[in-house]
Structure formats: structure tokens, C-alpha cells
Structure 1
Amino acid sequence: MAKHLRLGKKAEYLATDYLRKKGYYIRDKNYRSGQAEVDIVAQKSHRLYFIEIKSKQSMRYGEPEEQIGKGKIRRYHRAAESFQLEEKWHGEIQFDSISITFFPQAVKIEHFEDAFS
């Protein structure tokens, strides 16, 4: 497996663990709808969270969350609509992102709530 794929899997594991510790229930991971993929669909109370995970090994090209473009956001919204239809969800939803930066001696996890409504 390529190094960047291993890094992505590790970031997904860390984000899932982080969310569970914060009281979120993980409903789905890597949910696909057409060309869109939602990294994590979580639920807390009566709200669904569609969460994009971004990870990097350096700050060279900016923060990981800065890599989420308008096209990705549009695809996320379409995937969220599909998920809601499939699950017959009529409650509130929110779009979050989790940014994970791997430094040589530490890992930085940041949770951005309501990141792209």
C-alpha cells in the first residue's frame, strides 16, 4: 500500500477514535454516492454529521482543511442528500471536517464544526 494511503487510513482511524471519545456514534465510513465519498457519517443526539478527514505530514502547503475545495463540498452535499434518502433521515445535519497533521513527535487533531454548510 502506498505511503499516502497508509497515512489516510491512520488518519481515519484516529478521527473515528476521537469522535467516539466525544460521544459520537459512527453510522458509516467511506459512504459512497456517485462520485462522492463521505469519510465518516456520525450521529450525536438527533443530528447527523458528515465529516471530511484531511491529513498531512507537513505544513508546507498550508493547513489540511484548506485542501477542501468547492467541488468537494458540492459532492459532499449530494452524498448527504443520498444518505438521508436511503436512511429516511428527517433530522438535522451538519458538515464538519477533521484535520490531522502528523509531526515527527506528535499528532495534531483539529475538529472544525459546521465547516461547510
Structure 2
Amino acid sequence: MAEHNDFGQLAEDLAAEFLSKKNYKILARNFRYQKAEIDIVAEFEGIIVVTEVKARSYNTLIEPQEAVTKKKIKSIVMCSDFFMNERKIDKEVRFDIITVLPDEQGVLQLNHIEDAFQSFDAN
């Protein structure tokens, strides 16, 4: 596996652990439908939380969450709809982003952006 894929997997592992510690119940990881993928699906206080993990192993001019484009949002929403229908879940859905970036000392920092986008943003 390429080094950037290893880092992406580490970031997703850290994000899932972070959510679990905040009492989120992880329902699925790397859920795929067609060419779309959801990094983490969790439940928290009766809400389904679909989380996109964006990580950078170095500091860039663009914030990681800015890489979640309208096309990516549309893909996540489509995949989420399939997940909900397949599992017959009828609950509110929230879309979050967790960014993973190193600080000045190289220590990875997580930033949880709740309600980062709405499903209607993809239209």
C-alpha cells in the first residue's frame, strides 16, 4: 500500500477512535456504494452521523475540509441514502468532517466540524 494510503488509514482510525471516545456508536467504516464511499457512519444521540475524514501529512495552503467539493458531497449523500435504505434506518442524518493535520511539532491534531454541509448543498 502506498504511504499516503497508510496515512489516510491512520487518519480514519484516529477519527473513529475520537468519535468512539465521544460516545458515538460506529455503525460502518469505508461503506461503499457504486463508486462512492463513506469513511465513517456513526450514531450519536439518535442521529446518524456521516463523517468524511480529510487528512494531510503536511501543512498546505488549502484547508483539508476545502477538498470536500460539491461533487464529493453529492457522492457522499448518494451513498448515505443507499446506506439508510439498505438498513431500513429512518433517522435524521448529519454530515460532519474530521480533519487531521500535524501541528508544528508534527503531532497530529483532529478538528471535528459538525454539520459541515447539508444534503441540499449538492444540488
TM-score (norm 1): 0.95
Give the letter aligned to residue 19 of structure 2. L
Match of 2:107 in 1: 106
Q: Distance in 2 between matches of 1:35 and 1:92?
A: 24
Q: Distance in 2 between matches of 1:93 and 1:71?
A: 19
- Secondary structure at 1:89's aligned position in 2? coil
How far 1:30 sits from its partner (Å)? 0.3
Over the aligned positions, Cα root-mean-square deviation in angstroms equals 1.0
Q: Are 2:39 and 2:51, in contact at CA under 8 Å, matched by a contact in 1?
A: yes
State the percentage of identical aligned residues: 35
Match of 1:16 in 2: 16
Task: Write the deviation string for residues 8-44 of structure 1: whole angstroms up to 9, x where unpaired.
Answer: 0110110011000000000000000111100000001
Q: Are 1:55 and 1:102, in contact at CA under 8 Å, matched by a contact in 2?
A: no
TM-score (norm 2): 0.91
- Secondary structure at 1:54's aligned position in 2? strand
Segments of structure 1 that go 5 or more residues without pairing to the other structure are: none
How far 1:50 sits from its partner (Å)? 0.6
Number of equivalenced pairs: 117
Q: Are 2:59 and 2:102, in contact at CA under 8 Å, matched by a contact in 1?
A: no
